[in-house]
Structure 1
Amino acid sequence: MVSHPLLIVMILLTIELLILGLARHQRTKAWFNLLPPVFWIYFLPMLASTFGLLDARSPVYGLITTWLLPASLLLLLLAVDLKAILRLGPTALAMFFSGAAGIIAGATLVFGLFKPLVGERFWSGFGALSASWTGGSANMIAVKEALAVPDQVFAPMVIVDTVVPYLWMAALIAGVAWQPAFDRWNRADRRIIDELGNRLAAAGQTLQQRFSPSGFLLILPAAAAGSGLSHWLGSRLPVIKDVVSGYTWTIVLVSLLGLALSCTPARRLEQHGASTAGSWLLYFVLTAIGAKASVASIGSGLILIGAGLLIMAVHALFLLVAARLLKAPFFLVAAASQANVGGVASAPVVAEVYQPGLASVGLLLAILGNIFGTYLGIICAQLCRLF
């Protein structure tokens, strides 16, 4: 069994780099069509610790998550373009938040129904899942650490977060054939789509990344300073037992700090790969979280997949009601839904399938989810805890 902290770090880094390398290589990237890289980055360290190759109780895992997670969140939020998001207009934004409300309401109600089957301790797991389905993987991990979600609760939620979004994306893509009929039935205002195209055409260009040693050397100190400041402030704010801990404050504050810095010249760090570095740190944190878990803890995965599908049903109902009230086209139903559930990787794909040339609508809505997902996940968890 490997127990030396330095060796553990080297093994975790090797797993991360190996998976990311295979996922990008032309010959092997198709292997990850069914199960994405983020799943294997979590699952392989779990297997290693379960079978005694890694010491699952090493304190190095806690140090990695405590210090690197805030740094990764800060870097990921630096690239946010708030002006471009606001250009989407009230209808698109209302559809996104309607979908997010459906996730929160669905997770809360479904937890109430499934509590006798999965146990009361899963209240925090449903909160972490809702963070992913209103934001993304970074939000899910942030809520996991902010609420100290037990590893035996988090592990099956990773399975649900892998399976259900893929099924949902397939359903949304298949639904493109119903787009004309739905818009006629809903008397949808198709001018909204033209307005979206005009607004996005006026949006500023995305910052282009160009790696340079000097720029990259600025990224790491900035991330460390932001993480340290958030820890310092979070430790001085009031703690509410079982609701808000010092680390919860740290996650909330570093997210706000990253968003605030995105409105300053600090956003130029994205030109040197700030979000890429943030992703690398986030995946490394995920390897550490996986190494603390056990394969035995994913036994309730099938039951929870059923719960996840019910959450999707409530989410869809909220979106359809909102579309009816707002006369929104089916394009926005699909784009907002995938932005919630799928995130930045898949939302542009669905948006492009429905309306060629408007993939950026899905992308910007998904980035909006990255901003709010952590907060919404914490709120959802507390609603579940009330049960």
Structure 2
Amino acid sequence: MIHHPLLIILTLLAIELLILGLARYERTKSWFNLLPPVFWIYFLPMLAASFGLLDPKQPVYGLITTWLLPASLLLLLLSVDLKAIMRLGPVALAIFFSGSLGIVVGATLVFKLFKPLIGSQFWAGFGAIAASWTGGSANMIAVKEALAVPDQVFAPMLIVDTVVPYLWMALLIAGVAWQQAFDRWNGSKRGLIEELSNRVVEAGQVMQQRFSMGGFLLLLPVAVAGSGLSHWLGLQFPVVKDVISGYTWTIILVSLLGLALSCTPARRLEQHGASKLGSWLLYFVLTAIGAKASVASFGSALLLIAAGLLIIAVHALFLLVAARLLKAPLFLVAAASQANVGGVASAPVVAEVYQPGLASVGLLLAILGNIFGTYLGILCGQLCRLL
């Protein structure tokens, strides 16, 4: 068994680099079509710890999570373009937030329904899944730490977060065949699509990145300073027992700090690979979280997958009501839904399938989810706790 902190860090780094390398390599990337890299980055350290290769009780895991998670969130939010998101217009934003509200309400109601079967300790897990399905993986991990989700709760939730969004994406893509029929039935304002096309030209394109050692040395002090400042400020805010801790404040504040910096010249740090470094740090945090968990935690996954499907059903109902009231086309409904549930990796794909040339609409809506997902996940978790 590996006990030394430095050897543990090197082992976790090796696992992360191996998975990311295989996911990019042309001959092996198809291996991740069913289970994405983020799952294996979490699962392999869990296996290593469960079978005695890694010491799961080493304090180094907590140090990695405590300090690198805020740094990664800061870097990931630096590249947000608020002006481009606002150009999507009120209907697109209203549809997106209707879907987000459906996830929060759905997760709360489904937790109430399933609590006798899964146990009340899953309240924080439903908050984490709500964060992922209103934002993305970064939001899920942030809420996992902010709400102190137990590892035996988080592990099966990660399975749910892997299986359910893929099933939902398949249904959304299949729904493109019903696009014209839905828009006729709904009386959709098809002119909204042309307006969106005019508004988002060039808006969804990301900055050209030149990741280098010089860029890394420039980004590192920014990330460290932002993480340290957020930790210090988090300690200045009041702690409410069982509701909000000092680290919860840290996560909330570092997200606000990253968003604030995105409105300043600091946003140009994206040219040096800020979001790429943020993703690497986030995945490294995920390896540390996985190493503390146990394979036995996956036991309740099937029941939770059923709960996840019910959450998606409530989400879909909210979107349909909003689409009916706003006369929104199915393209916008599908793009907003996948932006919520799938995130930045898959929302542009669904948007492009429905309306070629408008992938950037899905991308911008997904980025909007990255901004709000952490807060909505914490809110959902607290609502479930009250039940």
TM-score between both structures, scaled by the size of structure 1:
0.99
- When structure 1 is superposed on structure 2, of 204-213 and 227-236 the one drifting more is 204-213
Alignment of structure 1 residues 19-58 onto 2, 5 Å: 19-58=19-58
Distance 2:205 2:138 in 1: 24
Alignment of structure 1 residues 304-323 onto 2, 5 Å: 304-323=304-323
Q: 1:204 to 1:314 in 2, by over 3 A?
A: closer
Shift of 1:327: 0.2
Shift of 1:205: 5.1
- When structure 1 is superposed on structure 2, of 49-58 and 62-71 the one drifting more is 49-58
Cross-structure match for 1:210: 210
- SS in structure 1 of the partner of residue 236 of structure 2: coil
* CA deviation string 1:239-265 (max 9, x = no partner): 000100000000000000000000101
Distance 2:383 2:154 in 1: 18
- When structure 1 is superposed on structure 2, of 204-213 and 343-352 the one drifting more is 204-213
Aligned length: 387
Cross-structure match for 1:77: 77
The answer on whether the counterparts of 2:204 and 2:363 sit within 8 Å (CA) in structure 1 is no
Shift of 1:215: 2.4
Distance 1:264 1:108 in 2: 37
Q: Identity across aligned pairs (percent)?
A: 83
Alignment of structure 1 residues 78-227 onto 2, 5 Å: 78-201=78-201, 203=203, 206-227=206-227
Shift of 1:203: 3.7
Q: 1:155 to 1:202 in 2, by over 3 A?
A: closer
Cross-structure match for 1:276: 276
1:176 counterpart letter in structure 2: V
Distance 2:357 2:297 in 1: 43
Shift of 1:380: 0.3
2:343 counterpart letter in structure 1: G
* CA deviation string 1:260-298 (max 9, x = no partner): 000101011100000000000000000000000000011
Distance 1:253 1:344 in 2: 23
1:26 counterpart letter in structure 2: E
Cross-structure match for 1:259: 259
Distance 2:349 2:322 in 1: 23
- SS in structure 1 of the partner of residue 260 of structure 2: helix
- SS in structure 2 of the partner of residue 385 of structure 1: helix
The answer on whether the counterparts of 2:172 and 2:350 sit within 8 Å (CA) in structure 1 is yes
Structure 2 unaligned residues grouped into runs of 5+: none
Shift of 1:210: 1.2
2:81 counterpart letter in structure 1: D
The answer on whether the counterparts of 2:205 and 2:360 sit within 8 Å (CA) in structure 1 is no
1:337 counterpart letter in structure 2: S
The answer on whether the counterparts of 2:204 and 2:364 sit within 8 Å (CA) in structure 1 is no
Distance 2:281 2:347 in 1: 23
Distance 1:214 1:145 in 2: 31
Q: 1:24 to 1:161 in 2, by over 3 A?
A: same
Distance 2:323 2:105 in 1: 17
2:244 counterpart letter in structure 1: V
1:295 counterpart letter in structure 2: V
Distance 1:320 1:375 in 2: 24
2:25 counterpart letter in structure 1: H
2:177 counterpart letter in structure 1: A
Structure 1 unaligned residues grouped into runs of 5+: none
Distance 2:186 2:203 in 1: 30
Distance 1:211 1:198 in 2: 32
Shift of 1:236: 1.1
Distance 2:52 2:179 in 1: 52
The answer on whether the counterparts of 2:110 and 2:311 sit within 8 Å (CA) in structure 1 is yes
Distance 1:215 1:243 in 2: 39
